[in-house]
Structure 1
Amino acid sequence: MRKLVYYVAVTLDGFIAAEDGTFDGFVFEGDHMAGINADYPDTLPTQLREPFGFSDTPNRNFDTVLMGRHTYQVPGGLASPYAHLRQFVVSSSLTDTPDDVEVISSDVAGRVRALKEEDGLDIWLCGGGKLAAELLPQIDKLLLKIHPVVFGRGIPLFDGKADITKFQRTDARLFESGVSFMTYERP
């Protein structure tokens, strides 16, 4: 069975973006970039795979990406940001997407359970916080790029009511840039 993996950058105070949805405060230079990209090249937007040297690299971890509407429509974003993956956007209002981006407008948890039953690599939940809170019972693994920055306010890692859910740390990588890459899984 495939896993739903919430892979996201987060601040020290638990935000995945500023209040306006931007993430300019995150650290985009340093040793963590090469280290994490080498292990998770499938999470690079399609347009960045070639410049970063991963254009011919097969997907290693994910073959499907699931994102909320705000994550999909990030300012300056692309109509098909992860064309090398099967792309899903959760939205009750979005209707205008390319053919390779499917909109899920109802029974999100049911659709995720069905996707998890399919053969293939894991499913990447790349945002946002409201969707992560809604899907917390379905999330099997957390991959958190913890950046050494405090936003003070913004979009939380889990934005909404969620039951207490325990995860077990299974890996930790520390980088000179100050970024920590933490892996947590359901026990």
Structure 2
Amino acid sequence: MCLYLTTTCGDPNSPAALNAEMQTFILLRQHPFCPNSPTRTAPQAASPAQIALLIWQTQIPLPHPAPYIAPGYAVTGKRAYLEIHDNPSLPPQHFNQLGYDITVDAASTYDIIWGDGTQSTGITSAGGPYPNGNVSHVYDNTGNYTVRIVQTWHGRYTVNGLTGTIDSPLTTEGTIQGFPVHQIEAVKLRAPAGPAPPGRCQRR
């Protein structure tokens, strides 16, 4: 078996290109070039940063936010407490690629689009229910709103005790569709006219 390599155009930092380069490097350890191969130059060994980027883009299962606002609706002028039901950080995950022991972890921030023309950005908390939740919003008008959560993930990698940043943020999203906001109106009730209850005097 021998390797027949050709040159293709495209982004050299894309997951497909990085993966092809890594696979070529691995195969060249086992097989020579074919005599008629257009390309007979071996690719350079991938750096830990490139390997970490490929792992980050193809092998890390990122969670998606699952937002909820109890009890399923809000009232104008009152705080609505958002619960994102998601972990804002990713625990370390370990990989072995091309002889490197690489650990990848991540932290995230939330951008919250409340649906009424306002948003909250750079939030680091997943919120919580009333009364202790720390992510809330006050709606001024009634209606049905789409609440959208964009979670931006920033990865890091560690190789041989050295830590680097993966320069390729990833995003996951979650929404609440048609979130209703109501208005409470005070209603004044009048007791119907009639005889006084037993044991009470009527004024004449």
Band the TM-score falls in, shorter-chain normalisation: under 0.3
Taking structure 1 as the reference length, the TM-score comes to 0.22
TM norm structure 2? 0.21
Question: Using CA pairs below 8 Å that are at least 6 residues apart, which structure has the higher relative contact order?
Answer: 1
Which has the greater radius of gyration?
A: 2
Give the structure with the higher percent strand: 2
